[in-house]
Structures are given as structure tokens and as C-alpha cells.
Amino acid sequence: MARRTGLREFQLAVAERLRNAGTRAALASKLGFQVAGVNWFVALHQVSEVIPLPPAVPVPLTHSWFRGVANVRGNLYSIVDFSAFQGGDPIASGMERRVILVSDRLVAGAGLVVSRMLGLRNPEQFNAAARPANAPAWVASAYTDAGGTRWLELDLPALAREQRFLEVGA
């Protein structure tokens, strides 16, 4: 009986370690994307999902970076062109264009248009780099990958608190 109890405790401990490892990996995973030739990533837990660019209904008297509202499975989402929001050129329509839907825990019904997705990234494979001078608060940090490519980390909670992001009216 003692041996059976020890085996059960061992199995429970292994199951708990696997569960914690999965949680740590999910929290550490970063979703890579590109906007206007710049590589970015965002913590996976800050994103609800990534979808193809849906048709958006323009809203009068809003900033040019605000694409409008889109119906995503019966829910309205505010769609922001992330390149134009940063002062760059608007992202043209195309097959690779995607919308990153922000987690509802941060801000309800918001999506960012990005040029293309670059897949999941492991932050342990990046080296810290100098954060760009005068970067907005929502640029959390900068990194370089093994090939020397620069990546910026988007802090979606900070972006969701940005007054300019919240006030789309022109």
C-alpha cells in the first residue's frame, strides 16, 4: 500500500510540474508580427486571437489611423491601423494582413491591423537591446535575434491605457 501511495504522489507531482511548465511557456510565448518593415512581438496572453482583415465600416470624424468598426462573429471591434497610429503609412489591404484582437481583459473590442504574422517566438532566444530613444510607453523593450534583426515588444496593457488610442475622434 505504501508503494502505491508513493507512486500516486509521484504521478501527481509530475502532473503538477507539467501543468506549471505549460503555464510558464504560455506566459513566456510571444506572438511575432511585422508592421511597416519593423518586427514586433507581444505576449501571447494579451491577445485573444488573430484573424484575417475583416471589412470595416468607416466612422466619420475619426483619426485616419482608425479604420472603423468590424463585425467579428456578432461582436463589434474597433479596428486600428497600427502603422498609421505610429505615424507611418497606412497598411494596404492584402492577403498577409491580419488583425490582432486585444484580450478583453485589457480593452473590450479592439483590434490592431498588422502587415503580417511571424509566428510564435521564444523570448529566451533574444538578446536585450537598447530601447529606442523617445519610444512611447507601450514599447516595452527592444531585442535582437540570433541573426541581428531588431524586435520591439508591444505592451498591450500600456497601449490600452494610452489616451490617444482610446480617443479615436478627430
Cα distances (Å, whole numbers) of residue 99 to 94, 114, 146? 12, 6, 27
Split at pLDDT 50, 70, 90, the class of 38 is very high
- Residue 22, pLDDT score: 45
Mean pLDDT over residues 130-137, rounded? 93
- Residue 27, pLDDT score: 45
- Residue 29, pLDDT score: 86
Split at pLDDT 50, 70, 90, the class of 26 is very low
In DSSP notation, 60-72 reads: TTB-TTEEEEEEE
**What cell numbers appear for 145 in the block?**
535575434
| Helix or strand run (H / E) with residue 12 | helix 2-28
Mean pLDDT over residues 40-59, rounded? 95
- Evaluate if residue 170 carries a pLDDT over 70: yes
- Residue 17, pLDDT score: 57
- Evaluate if residue 154 carries a pLDDT over 80: yes
- Residue 20, pLDDT score: 53
- Residue 153, pLDDT score: 97
